[in-house]
Amino acid sequence: MTIEASKLEANRARLLQILTGERTPENDLAYFDEDGATYDALALEDHDPAWLLAAARDRRYPLAGRQNLVMNLVRLQAELWIELEAEDPTMPRYPR
């Protein structure tokens, strides 16, 4: 299945809002509770995983934003969660 470039750009834009802290579970609960973040992340996991991995690993974004993003990933969650654990020892351990 292919996806339009404009839809991927919209997915990236919403995920960038998570990364920067502009969109959080505290200020946009519906987006997170109704799986908007997960659907946006899944589209990029399927169609642009390189962008998603690079963005989640980019330390220019606040740790809290990267954690919020990683919590909504599906296939890439374990790998990135373990990386964030190394950065923040107070973060809950990923089940191994």
How many residues does the structure list for the chain?
A: 96
Tokens 């964030």 sit on residue: 84
What mean pLDDT comes out for the span 86-95?
88
Q: So what's the pLDDT on residue 43?
A: 96
Kindly provide the b/e burial profile for residues 30-48, where b requires at least 16 CB atoms within 10 angstroms of the residue's own CB.
Answer: ebbeeebbeebbbbbbebb
Confidence of residue 92 (pLDDT cuts 50, 70, 90): confident
Mean of per-residue pLDDT scores for the chain: 93
What mean pLDDT comes out for the span 22-26?
97
pTM metric for this prediction: 0.89
Q: Is the pLDDT at 2 greater than 70, yes or no?
A: no
Q: So what's the pLDDT on residue 96?
A: 74
Q: Is the pLDDT at 1 greater than 80, yes or no?
A: no
H, E, C per residue of the chain? CCCCHHHHHHHHHHHHHHHHCCCCCCCCHHHHHCCHHHHHHHHHHHHCHHHHHHHHHCCCCCHHHHHHHHCCCCCCHHHHHHHHHHHCCCCCCCCC
